[in-house]
């Protein structure tokens, strides 16, 4: 049997992180005892026309030995930008799929973290001990101004997790210790690009959903700490207390999974969000999401917390656009408040003949105009319902 391939994916954004990317993150990837088969660095910024991309590409490659540089790629995020790296990670994962196929492992590393030199080796060793391993976890050393030299070791998951383990808190999995088989990531749907934070827990829940009940031995633990996570207080971080991105991410995560949580899990989630991140109880009052405290519980809510209110007093407006909806063989429904969020979906649907796209839009006339343009440019037959009562 051929050796299992490993793709390393790093998302980066901003000149202030360049030194950390080159001197800490990529240096640790280059120093692995078992080298990666592919290293994909994904820029979350717009492509440069000033030559900066050429400089960055050269700097990234120069982190590696000359005979390893052919395995290193610098690409740009082709999906959702500036959403906590989710679009960039997905771009890198899908690029890796094209290079190494669905049987490879994908190892994520944040651009300000680093691995100990045996990280990839330890993960592959743990995976090899399980016949059908799809997901490996190693331990995290947390470094902060108050931590001891070498970092504070966090708990390591030792046994197969279940989804509810991630509802109220994170049991020790972050981007930098994600080591997952490509086919499992694809089955789980990759990272949710509508979440500005809490992205790792969200992916872990969906991994548990698709892997639980499959053949046994899908999870393995290295039992050792091979990731250094830097929780610097001197830099702007999504996870800091009071961060708007953290609050919105937690809010959307709660809307997405609260129906699966029991009462104790919901209380624990809300308490931690308030105590640790400065949220309020109102942030998690689902009835307030559309400005209407009397919203009917039958209202539609998307996974990213966009809402189509269906109050008993609400009359849906007449459909705009084409009248041929009843002649279509397949009708796709999408709820959104931002046309950019669904651009990738519309691109995919444009290749499905005979499809009709119905968009339930929370916004104003400018959103309606953007939808019409988006459908027309892609040659998609579709319509929309514009709901001005809720602008999520």
Q: What is the pLDDT of residue 229?
A: 93
DSSP summary character for residue 176: G
- Provide the b/e sequence for 236-250 (b: ≥16 CB within 10 Å): eeeeeeebebbbbbb
Which regions of the chain carry the CATH code 3.90.550.10? 6-230
Q: How far apart are CA 325 and CA 319, in angstroms?
A: 10
Chunk the chain into consecutive blocks of 10 residues (it has 392) and report each block's average pLDDT, rounded to whole numbers: 87 84 96 97 76 82 96 92 90 95 96 96 96 94 83 89 92 93 94 91 94 84 95 66 85 89 93 92 69 43 45 45 50 82 82 82 85 89 75 42
Do 60 and 72 meet the contact criterion of CB atoms below 8 Å apart? yes
Q: What ranges make up the beta strands (E) of 187-278?
A: 219-230
- Measured in residues, the chain has a length of 392
* Rounded CA separation 93/77 (Å): 11
Q: Are 388 and 363 in contact (CB under 8 A)?
A: yes
User: Is 176 buried (19+), middle (13-18) or exposed (0-12) by CB count in 10 A?
Assistant: buried
Q: What is the CA radius of gyration of the chain?
A: 22
The CATH number for 6-230, chosen from 3.40.30.10, 3.40.50.1220, 3.90.550.10, 1.10.3720.10, is 3.90.550.10
- Cα–Cα distance for residue pair 213/125, rounded to 1 Å: 24
pLDDT of residue 303: 42
Quote the Cα angle for 139-136-80, to 5°.
95
Q: What is the model's pLDDT at position 342? A: 81
Distance CA 58, CA 54 (A): 6
């Amino acid at each position: 049997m051929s050796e299992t391939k490993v793709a390393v994916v790093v998302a980066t954004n901003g000149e202030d992180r360049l030194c950390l990317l080159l001197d800490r993150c990529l240096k640790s990837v280059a120093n692995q005892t078992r080298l990666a088969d592919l290293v994909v660095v994904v820029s979350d910024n717009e492509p440069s026309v000033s030559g900066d991309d050429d400089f960055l590409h050269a700097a990234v490659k120069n982190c590696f030995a000359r005979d390893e540089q052919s395995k290193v790629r610098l690409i740009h995020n082709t999906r959702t930008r500036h959403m906590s790296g989710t679009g960039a990670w997905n771009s890198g994962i899908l690029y890796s799929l094209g290079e190494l196929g669905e049987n490879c492992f994908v190892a994520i590393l944040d651009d300000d973290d680093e691995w100990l030199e045996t990280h990839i080796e330890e993960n592959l060793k743990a995976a090899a001990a399980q016949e059908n391993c799809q997901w490996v976890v190693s331990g995290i050393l947390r470094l902060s101004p108050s931590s001891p030299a070498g970092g504070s070791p966090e708990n390591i998951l030792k046994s197969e997790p279940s989804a509810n383990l991630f509802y109220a808190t994170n049991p020790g999995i972050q981007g930098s210790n994600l080591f997952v088989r490509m086919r499992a990531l694809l089955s789980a749907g990759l990272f949710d690009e509508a979440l500005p934070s809490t992205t790792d827990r969200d992916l872990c829940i969906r991994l548990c959903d698709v892997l639980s009940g499959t053949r046994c031995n899908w999870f393995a633990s290295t039992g050792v700490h091979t990731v250094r996570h830097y929780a610097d207080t001197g830099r702007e971080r999504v996870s800091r207390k009071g961060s708007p991105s953290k609050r919105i991410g937690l809010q959307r995560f709660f809307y997405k999974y609260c129906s699966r949580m029991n009462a104790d899990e919901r209380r624990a989630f809300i308490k931690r969000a308030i105590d640790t991140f400065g949220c309020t109880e109102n942030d998690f009052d689902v009835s307030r999401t559309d400005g209407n405290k009397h919203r009917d519980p039958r209202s539609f809510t998307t996974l990213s917390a966009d809402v189509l209110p269906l109050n008993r007093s609400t009359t849906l407006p007449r459909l705009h656009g084409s009248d041929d909806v009843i002649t279509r063989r397949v009708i796709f429904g999408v709820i959104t408040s931002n046309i950019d969020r669904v651009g990738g979906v519309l691109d995919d649907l444009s290749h499905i003949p005979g499809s009709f796209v119905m968009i339930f839009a929370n916004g104003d006339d400018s959103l309606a105009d953007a939808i019409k343009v988006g459908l027309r440019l892609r040659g998609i037959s579709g319509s929309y319902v514009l709901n001005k009562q809720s602008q999520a």
